[in-house]
A = this chain, B = another copy of it.
């Protein structure tokens, strides 16, 4: 008998029929003797409907009150799922975030979980209940409702699994796992049976939208064995088949398997590039340039500063495309006049392509193989950044698919590692 956490996304909870399928799947695990905690999202479309109502009243909704409203989506889901289980004759009990409680800070609409009290859940599990915990929501020390941001139910599930020291956290979603890259771009893309949490972290941060990035951080920090798998398969499939399906997020040192050098290829076309040319190269210049951008709540992603010559340097960074115009205005009006920089240029038609793999740590030549592959395809690289387990390049947006396909082939990703 193991303690297992299931998480179901909005699509899996999207209708009464689908909720019945979720209950059938949970029942199968429960009847096999496991203790089950289930974390559902809001029914698909519901969170957007609620936010839409709020925006009719305030184009920028008050964050505290928006969370009061948005949290109701998951509250409906937990009640419905509890009923679907009871209708099958299974004891079930629902909890809102504040009832567990799942404590969080007070950063409304993007709060972070600070602690989870597992007493009530544990007692219910011991009494034979399936426990259903609302995803996406928490409560502050002074009893205010918070939500955890888009995809926050993933984090709820992993955090609950961590608090309960669950055997495994199963994230049921509408894809059947994590792929070497997006199958819509590369038809040969292969589902990974395993991925390390560090690779998953990079894949998530680079735009692969399978899991909320914070859930991956949680999985890594608390060593939660997490599996991404499909809820769209037959809920009555044999348990043994289901327990090895999807993609398991593992921890490097646990693994004896031969590790592929590159696990996957991520890409992101939501960014825009801004370059400041001829910046006087003196201490504090990066802060002078980027401090005002950060103060305006604009997230900066890739930042590159080249070596200087003649006391001048070039400075480039990327921001989300939605922030491009605002950032350019800010630099022109408030920043450049103070720094004596020469010229400003920008480009929204770029994309970022990254190879990710924990094997890069111990294998030399991975980055150079990436560069040569792109060169052979005639693709010019505009920016490069590297970390221990990923190499990212910024290229012209129009080459994105070509680059991803060429790299997928060059690193033999269509083949399972030997």
Contacts and interface: CB of A to CB of B under 8 A. Distances in A.
Interface of A: 16, 19-20, 50, 53-54, 56-58, 61-62, 64-66, 68-69, 71-72, 75-76, 78-80, 82-84, 86-87, 93-94, 96, 98-99, 143-145
Contacts of A94: 65, 68
Contact of A79 (B65, B75, B87): B65
A413 to B, nearest CB: 43
Contacts of A50: 76
Given A99-B143, A143-B99, A145-B96, A57 B83 contact: yes
A19 B56 CA distance: 11
A87 B61 CA distance: 9
B65 A82 contact: yes
Contacts of A93: 64
Contacts of A80: 53-54, 57, 65, 69
5 contacts: A54-B80, A65-B79, A65-B83, A68-B94, A99-B145
A19 to B, nearest CB: 7
Nearest to A100: B143
A15 to B, nearest CB: 9
Nearest to A19: B57
A96 B68 contact: yes
Given A16-B53, A58-B86, A69-B79, 17 more contacts: A20-B57, A50-B76, A57-B80, A57-B84, A57-B87, A62-B82, A62-B83, A64-B93, A65-B78, A65-B94, A66-B79, A66-B83, A68-B75, A68-B78, A72-B75, A75-B75, A98-B98
A69 B75 CA distance: 6
Nearest to A72: B72
Nearest to A55: B83
A208 B341 CA distance: 77
* Interface-central residue, A62, A79, A80, A96, by most chain B CB under 10 Å: A79
A54 B79 contact: yes
